[in-house]
Structure 1
């Protein structure tokens, strides 16, 4: 799981970001999280490639609404307390370069 502090760091950088816990979805299954993101027109940021790529690809194939899903790897960033700000900066830079990401899988 990504650190909830990353959402706070993204918010400080001017993004409307929520952690799964802040959104009231802590402990919910991935399909519910995805459906909520679709309803709220949010971008999903996760390190859970296997499940969210499958959900995204299945929804695309079925012609169902989709959202951008951004996959990140924590191991590409510093550990400990430096992780959240580093991850937020990385996503902020990606967002600036991709202001209107297409629904589907992204690897920044």
Structure 2
């Protein structure tokens, strides 16, 4: 097992942060609150992207791995975007959705498969 797999991402915290941002009440949050949540989500994604990359491998061979690669591409695209002035909450919501997606991809890929038949 490699070093990256020994440390599991804290998916509960990541999902909790995403849920806060996706709650309709978050639209009324202050700019500082949105900035702090965006920073947290960005950090979560910087942790999740390499973790999911490791699980997909260099030559994906399953549908789950291919789906995860699509999720990784979307995460990178969203991480590379800067929010438009006055659209910071919308940007945070996009980061929250991709955080949830990568969390699910990580769980799917990390879950042990059936034991090999002998």
| TM-score class normalised by the smaller sequence | 0.3 to 0.5
Give the greater-gyration-radius structure (CA): 2
